[in-house]
Amino acid sequence: MSTGIRLALALGLIALPHVALAVGDSAPLCGDVAGSKAVVASQHGRWVELDADQWQFLRGVYAMNPLTPPGLPYGDRAALARFDDLPNGIVFFIDGDRACTPMTAPPALLSLMKDVATHTIQHEQPGF
């Protein structure tokens, strides 16, 4: 599948929570995890379960992100969808058997997620 179509798919998955908010629906936007995984697989993407540290880190990112709904995301874990020809990933917050509140993960965030997983947090400057 072409890069343009994959990008449209990714943007569509990310735009859904904003459409839901625009119509005044305060319910979480969730879909079946199996269905989300199937869509990612059908586009030759990878579905990566994230560890607990990454999930907690991403909850904070989500809460402070001006492009996501206010508050913390739903769920008790997270997964990342990646496509070889796209620099961004898509984070899904998993609530039981539902994939909720997709959030884009640009390359800088993907790098930080890797640092969190490997416990190799780098600081630009030494402490005080």
3-class DSSP state of 74: coil
For 14, other C-beta atoms within 10 Å of its C-beta total: 19
3-class DSSP state of 115: helix
> What is the per-residue pLDDT for 12?
57
pLDDT in tens, the chain (128 residues): 555 455 455 545 544 444 444 444 445 688 999 999 999 999 999 999 999 999 999 999 999 999 888 899 999 999 999 999 999 999 999 999 999 999 999 999 999 999 999 988 776 766 66
H helix or E strand, kind and range, residue 15: helix 3-22
Burial class (CB in 10 A: 0-12, 13-18, 19+), 89: buried
CB 72 within 8 A of CB 64: no
- pTM (predicted TM-score): 0.76
Pairing, β 46-49 against β 30-32: unpaired
